[in-house]
Structure 1
Amino acid sequence: MPRAGVVHALLLLFAALAAWAPDACRATHNITAILAEHRDLAEFSRQLTATGLADEINVRNTITVLVVDDAHMAAKAHALPREALRHVLSLHVLVDYYDDAKLHRLPGGSAVVSTLFQASGDAPGSEGMVKIAVRRGGRVVFVPQDVEDNARADVFYVKSVHEAPYNISVLQVSAVITSPAAEAPSATPSSDSKPKNSTTADASSSKHGSRDGTHTAPSPAGQGASDDGEVSKQVGDGGDRGSKKNGAGGGGAPRGLPFALAFLMAVIVVVNW
């Protein structure tokens, strides 16, 4: 075959590989399909779909979903407005992989894990974190970071529903995990609630004070950085394990492009040789 024909054929192969490789790295699970096999989890599945969380779960490569049976889920679903319910359900989605075996071999008997509530940016400070702890007798409990241990009834691990290491794990818990921060009304302002010249107005008020004579003190530089640093230290170590096999927990950048570029370089060397 003439050299031009060889190059053309190799370039077509390269294009096919470049298109296929990113898809091969994406998550392949479907949380609603998994829960469809369990009739007592139908309400939880329905609310994941209604709040849009099912789609967010399905695009993540490393995830743990803590599910609740219909008897406990129905009452909470009807008691909360949609946005608060979404936040509460987000507390049940750990952005790390935990299965039955890992729950019972936690280093030091506990771990603090980030949730989808924290990852979304809706949770203030570290209030979207969940502590997993092993109590006496081996019972595993889940406690939101902003709830005192003695101020709530334990939500404990019941059983494993589905495990696909280190992609997705679905674990049943005894009740709905919630917190004051998750159930709080949304404080997000509407897009037109601020005047167009708000930047100028804020700058002016910081220099001259408000109209009533009071002055607004700027926040100290770097405030909150130490809190974030402390939170990052507490997050469990399972993410490293999952990321080595599946990429970043949030879907990550496609790995197909570096592979395709390496392939193209090899083709160029062969053709020139």
Structure 2
Amino acid sequence: MSTSRILISAVLLLSSVAVATAFDITKLLDKYPEYTQFNNLLTKTKIADEINSRKTITVLAINNNHIGEIAGKSEDVQKRILSSHVVLDYYDTQKLKQLKTDTKTQLTTLFQASGTAGDQQGFLNVINQKDGIVVFGSAAKDAPVDAKMESSILSQPFNISVLSISKPIVAPGIENLKPVSSSSAPKAAPAPSKTTPAASPEKEKAASAPTPADAPATKAPAPAPKADAPAADQSPPSSAAGKQMVSGVSVGLIVAFASFLAAH
């Protein structure tokens, strides 16, 4: 098989794998009418596009009965809150039940990846309690960890898992964040002045002092002859000979590589 055919086959294989692992969160949630409002908010804020661009993701969904706390907020705040319900890793019920009991495990969310989160607002804490209940909450200081996992809506190991939780997770201060703008970026410090400093009066006097005309010139001593100078036939090989050797090696490598391609 030629080299070009091998490359084409590899590209086709990678393309088929990418298609097989792709998912659309909007179409997946369309099958569950009790999450219509949550699904609509994902589309409205374009969080759905960011979810679909990922290969491994976990979505903490809220049903229509509990979405009201988010629905009345501005679109910018909705986007922050919803992005903190998207975990950048795969967690299904089985994996959550395997976590160490009564111990906080920190999860990274899509909100953390946005670059606007602060004070641990972009992280979640999850606790696998001894009573078998799994709870989620913001990792921000003094935030409650009381959003219970109710059920698994769907899972496609190990690409996407959608879990239902009992209430929205709203990190403290997430509604008061200001969007980052280029005008608020710190300005560069001005370049230092290149003005030459004025000479001191002492240096000016020294420069203008007359040099004695009859001062005898000092001659440098003649260099002593070097002993044991190397003979002419002991000099290193010329650069032309070195280039000839490198050229020979390069030609040999090219011929060998051409022979390999012809054989395959």
Normalised by the length of structure 1, the TM-score is 0.64
C-alpha contact 1:124 1:181 (8 A) present in aligned 2: no
Instruction: Read off the aligned partner of 2:10 and give its amino acid letter.
Output: L
What's the CA shift for 1:13? 5.2
Is 2:237 the counterpart of 1:272?
A: no
Is 2:50 the counterpart of 1:56?
A: yes
Query: SS at the partner of 1:112?
Result: strand
Instruction: Supply the RMSD in Å over aligned alpha carbons.
Output: 2.8
Q: 1:227 matched to which residue of 2?
A: none
Instruction: Read off the aligned partner of 1:186 and give its amino acid letter.
Output: K
Percent identical across equivalent pairs?
31
C-alpha contact 2:101 2:130 (8 A) present in aligned 1: no
* Structure ID, larger Rg: 2
Among 170, 175, 178, the alignment partner of 1:178 is: 170
Normalised by the length of structure 2, the TM-score is 0.66
Question: CA–CA distance in 2 between the matches of 1:105 and 1:16?
Answer: 40
Query: SS at the partner of 1:32?
Result: helix
Higher relative contact order (CA 8 A, sep 6+): 1
C-alpha contact 1:84 1:186 (8 A) present in aligned 2: no
Question: CA–CA distance in 1 between the matches of 2:260 and 2:120?
Answer: 52
C-alpha contact 1:160 1:170 (8 A) present in aligned 2: yes
Question: CA–CA distance in 2 between the matches of 1:152 and 1:82?
Answer: 24
Query: SS at the partner of 1:127?
Result: coil
Is 2:77 the counterpart of 1:84?
A: yes
Instruction: Read off the aligned partner of 2:63 and give its amino acid letter.
Output: D
Instruction: Read off the aligned partner of 1:64 and give its amino acid letter.
Output: T
Question: CA–CA distance in 2 between the matches of 1:187 and 1:35?
Answer: 30
| Structure 1, gaps ≥5 residues long | 1-5, 205-266
Q: 1:118 matched to which residue of 2?
A: 112
CA offset digits 1:225-256 (Å, max 9, x no partner): xxxxxxxxxxxxxxxxxxxxxxxxxxxxxxxx
Is 2:193 the counterpart of 1:200?
A: no
Structure 2 CA distance for partners of 1:268 and 1:59, relative to 1, 3 Å: farther
C-alpha contact 1:43 1:74 (8 A) present in aligned 2: no
Is 2:134 the counterpart of 1:140?
A: yes
Instruction: Read off the aligned partner of 2:76 and give its amino acid letter.
Output: E
Task: Work out the number of aligned pairs and report it.
Answer: 198
Question: CA–CA distance in 2 between the matches of 1:13 and 1:32?
Answer: 37
Question: CA–CA distance in 1 between the matches of 2:34 and 2:68?
Answer: 11
Q: 2:217 matched to which residue of 1?
A: none
Q: 2:158 matched to which residue of 1?
A: 166
